[in-house]
Structure 1
Amino acid sequence: MSSISWNYRGLGHPRKVQVLMDLVRNKKPDFLFLMETLCSREKLESLKLNLGYVNLFTVNKVGRSGGLALNLKLAYKVQLLNFGRTFIDVQVENAEVGKWRYTGFYGFPEMSRRRDSWELLRSLSSVSSLPWIYIGDFNDLLHISEKWGRCEHPNWKLNGFRAAVSDFGLVDLSIDDYQYTWESFRGTIDWVEECLDRALAFSALISLFPRARLLSLEAMCSDHLPIFLDPFPQTHYPRIKRFRFENVWLREQDCVEVITKS
């Protein structure tokens, strides 16, 4: 059940398409969940074929925002259970592990709809007792340590999301390497990074894939990093340590000289 999830922000840029094709070729995910596709079903069908997938479920964009796409390989028997503006919920079956659920989830990006996301999470969790995984951009944080930069994350949002996750015994599959999957205002005093993309699962599913690891992948053409769920990791993944430029360095007399020489 290897999976890549990416808040893609549109298919119009050729570089983004190439980065996506490279990721799929290198990681060979069974599931590919894209958010904010901003394009038509026809374009997504064409992309599906170019990427080598067989099954495709989509949710249309609304105006100039939104759009979801879930691509799957032929090895899985798939039944669409439900879908909406911010999620695609499917039942999956294959010979190795039997039946389980996969939900591509995109938390409402509007601040005023945070509680709607949490209620949707609860509602979907109560539908079935099958082994189950949520993956996507939740637009929420579980811990204050999942944010770096300006403005502390409000406690009511942390507590609300935590409660929604714990109500049905979901487990957070924490990212093994660079956890900050979204950033904004890079290189300014307002630079902020947050861990918005994640995977949540029932214990029953974790038991099916006890060695599963969640990793963030490089994608410089987007403000979101894709995340990769590897159920059967074969090799050691080196931790990614990103360089951060501290704006306070600009106050040092030698700063310009050092950068120029480098």
Structure 2
Amino acid sequence: MNLVVWNCRGALKPNFQDYVHDLVRQHDPAIFVVTETHVGGARARDITDKLPFDGAIHTETIGRAGGLWLLWNSDRVDVSFLANSEQEIHSTVKVRSSNFSWMLSAVYASPRRVERSILWNNLSNIADLHKMPWVITGDFNEPLTGADKFGGRAVSVNRALAFKDCLDKCNMVDLGFSGPRFTWTNGREIQDLIQERIDRFFVNPDWYRIYPEARVTHLTRSHSDHCPVLLETMPQRRIHLDRPFKFQRYWLSDLSFPKVVSQAWRQPTQLHEAIQTFATNATIWNRNQFGNIFSKKNRIRARLNGLQRIIAIRPSSYLLELERNLNQELEEILNQEHDLWALKSRLNWMVQGDRNTAFYHVSTLVRRNRNRITAIKNSVGEWIMNEAEVMDFIRRGFCDIYSSSHNTSKWSARPIQSGQACLNMRKEIVYGPG
């Protein structure tokens, strides 16, 4: 299921409806959020009746400014209205294909700081009223960090902190994005050019655990000074490669692990052969010794639950001792799980908190999405989007760089010529949460 948010800068523009139809054909969104429509009341309903959605919620404009529409297809999602104001629409979304339910808040933050503060307070108050998976999206009219702005005055620290404080109270996670870095531009010449990332999707950890592969893309900007932003909850299946070998910290807690290391170095051999032997043996040992930590944790908890039911009826010394042993085993597995997620998230867990595995889990998933290369430019400036084509382009780039044009046995590096196709990992290709 896909969601699109777009600041159209006026829904009365001649090509507005054509562009919405084009976005729907390309990206098939079940939900479409339109901000800064400049249209409200009956006129807004007349326009949305002509769009390819059968559900709509509108907010009133302030004079000819503002305006926020939430549109959806009822055959794919069931949207229930909760509340709204000039800057926000709150609703619950039930996805018919999966039966998942979550909360969606569509916002158009006022350009005026005082009114934006009202929105931040409203969102913070709503966070205290529910425990649902939650998405907040729209035009926030406020860069969050210095990396979210190019040109003009520096990002206001006080305003950014107020925005961040609201997101922290709502327990929101930035999914990152692929595509161009900025979502809005003033369209002026380079000396006066200002660009900002202010159209965004934020989700809480409960929502992200439902859709761990969710991906945000900044689409091509046209018909407005804002680009549409696409959220794919379940992107098309990517090519799966074999996972590289990784040392796991929790292996050190097992007394049999040193034997795995010593066996790999027992025979006199070259370094790369010993490393390969260790990686192979450690992978087999991990599978046999630990198995799946998460499945083992669930099995022990199920045994404890059954045991405690029996103890409640017929307690005995044997059963109490067995309960203590199972609790001790569960504690060891929880420590291993904690180490696993802390290692994968690459965060300082002493600062972030003790055994906050939900936090580590979401941090790891966000980092994985941030590190993906979803698009790359070729030597003539064209974007390559297909994953197989991206892989082939990178492979050919390396072959081109490390091949020699001379018939000689001695390898020498060739300088990369201007315009030559090469691998170029840049922030605007894939950018994660700041």
Q: TM-score, normalised by structure 2?
A: 0.53
Hey, what's the Cα distance between the residues in 1 that align with 2:193 and 2:66? Answer: 25
Match of 1:121 in 2: 123
Question: How do 1:107-186 residues align onto structure 2 when only pairs under 5 Å count?
Answer: 107-186=109-188
Give the Cα–Cα distance (whole angstroms) in 2 for the partners of residues 216 and 41 of structure 1: 30
**Conservation of the 8 A alpha-carbon contact between 1:181 and 1:195:** yes
The equivalent residue for 2:37 is: 37
Counterpart residue identity of residue 166, structure 2: A
C-alpha displacement of 1:198 = 0.6
Deviation at 1:154, TM superposition (A): 1.3
Within the alignment, does 1:238 sit opposite 2:375 as a pair? yes
Q: 1: distance between equivalents of 2:65 and 2:208?
A: 33
State the alpha-carbon separation in 1 of the partners of residues 18 and 161 from structure 2.
Answer: 39
Aligned to 1:222: 224
- Higher helix content, 1 or 2: 2
Give per-residue Cα distances to partners, 1:45-91, cap 9 Å, x unaligned. Answer: 34434332111111121211111111111122221111000111101
User: Could you tell me which amino acid in structure 2 is paired with residue 163 of structure 1?
Assistant: D
Overall identity of the aligned pairs, in %:
25
Paired residues of 1:177 and 1:239 also in contact (CA < 8 A):
no
Separation in structure 2 between the aligned mates of residue 14 and residue 104 of structure 1, nearest angstrom = 25
2:3 match: 3
User: Any stretches of 5+ residues in structure 1 without a counterpart?
Assistant: 244-262
1: CA distance, partners of 2:119 / 2:81: 20
| Number of the residue aligned with 1:93 | 94
Shift of 1:239: 5.0
Shift in alpha-carbon separation, 1:29–1:194, aligned structure 2, 3 A: same
The Cα of 1:205 is off from its aligned counterpart by 0.4
Matched residue of 2:15: which SS?
helix
In the alignment, is the contact (CA less than 8 A) between 2:39 and 2:64 conserved in 1? no
Letter in 2 for 1:39: V
Deviation of 1:22 after TM superposition, in Å, equals 0.6
Partner SS for 2:192:
coil
Q: Which range moves more in the overlay, 176-185 or 129-138?
A: 176-185
CA distance in 1, matches of 2:79, 2:51: 19
Distance in 2, Cα, partners of 1:116 & 1:167: 15
Note closer, same or farther for the CA distance 1:51–1:235 as it changes in structure 2 (3 Å cut).
Answer: farther
Distance in 2 separating the partners of 1:64 and 1:70: 18
1:177–1:240 contact (8 Å) kept in structure 2: no
Q: For the Cα contact (< 8 Å) 2:17–2:51, is it kept in 1?
A: no
Unaligned runs of 5+ residues in structure 2 are 239-373, 382-434
**Cα distance 1:160–1:131, how it changes in 2: closer, same or farther (>3 A)?**
same
> What is the aligned partner in structure 1 of residue 346 from structure 2?
none
Question: Which range is displaced more, 190-199 or 59-68?
Answer: 59-68
1-side partners of 2:94 and 2:217: how far apart? 24
Tell me how far 1:188 sits from its aligned partner: 4.3
Q: In structure 1, how many angstroms separate the alpha carbons of the residues matched to 2:40 and 2:161?
A: 37
Return the offset for 1:127: 2.1
Distance 1:239 1:42 in 2: 45
User: What per-residue deviation string (whole Å, max 9, x for no partner) do you get for residues 194-248 of structure 1?
Assistant: 100111111010111111101111132211111010111116742579x9xxxxx
Q: 1:172-199 deviations in whole A, cap 9, x for unaligned? A: 1222221200111421422110100111
Greater Rg by CA: 2
For the 8 Å contact 1:217–1:226, the answer to whether it is kept is yes
Describe the superposition over 1:86-130 as per-residue Cα deviations: whole angstroms up to 9, x where unpaired. Answer: 111101123414321111111121133342232122122222111
The 1-side partners of 2:166 and 2:65 are apart by: 26
Work out the CA distance in 1 between the residues paired with 2:13 and 2:225: 14
Which residue type is aligned with residue 138 of structure 2? G
In the alignment of these two chains, the number of paired residues is: 242
User: Which residue matches 2:392?
Assistant: none
- Is the CA contact 2:134–2:207 (under 8 Å) kept in the aligned structure 1? yes
Q: 1:239 to 1:107 in 2, by over 3 A?
A: farther
- Aligned residue for 1:101, secondary structure, equals strand
DSSP-derived class of the 1:156 partner: helix
Give the letter aligned to residue 79 of structure 2: V
